[in-house]
A and B are shown apart, each in its own frame.
Chain A
Amino acid sequence: MGENFVLQSIMSIISVKNLTRTFQVFEKQPGLLASLKSIYYRPSKTITAVDKVNFQIEQGELVGFIGPNGAGKTTTLKCLSGLLYPSSGDIQVAGYTPSQRQYQYLRQIGFVMGQKNQLWWDLPPQETFLLNKEIYDISDRDYNERLKYFIDVLDIQSIISIQTKKLSLGQRMKCEFAAALLHRPSVVFLDEPTIGLDVVASQKIRQFIKKINQEYKTTIILTSHNMTDVQELCQRVILIDKGQIKFDGNLSDLTSRYTELKTLKFTFENKVKKSDISKFGEVIFSDGYSYTIKVAKSKYLKTAATILSKLPVTDLNIEDTPIEDVIRQVYTDR
Chain B
Amino acid sequence: MATARPVRPAAGDAVPGGDGAPDARVAPPGGVQESSSESSATESATAGPSREIRTEILSHSDIARTIDRIAHQILERNGDRHVVLLGIPTRGVHLANRLSERLAAFAGRPAAVGSLDITLYRDDLRRNPPRALEETRLPDGGIDDAIVVLVDDVLYSGRTVRAALDALRDHGRPAVVQLAVLVDRGHRQLPIRADYVGKNIPTAFGDDVSVRLVETDGSDSVELARAMPTSGPTSPPTLPPTSPGTPGPGARTATSTTAPQGRGTPS
Please say whether chains A and B are actual partners in one complex.
no
**Which residues does B use to contact A, with CB under 8 Å?**
none
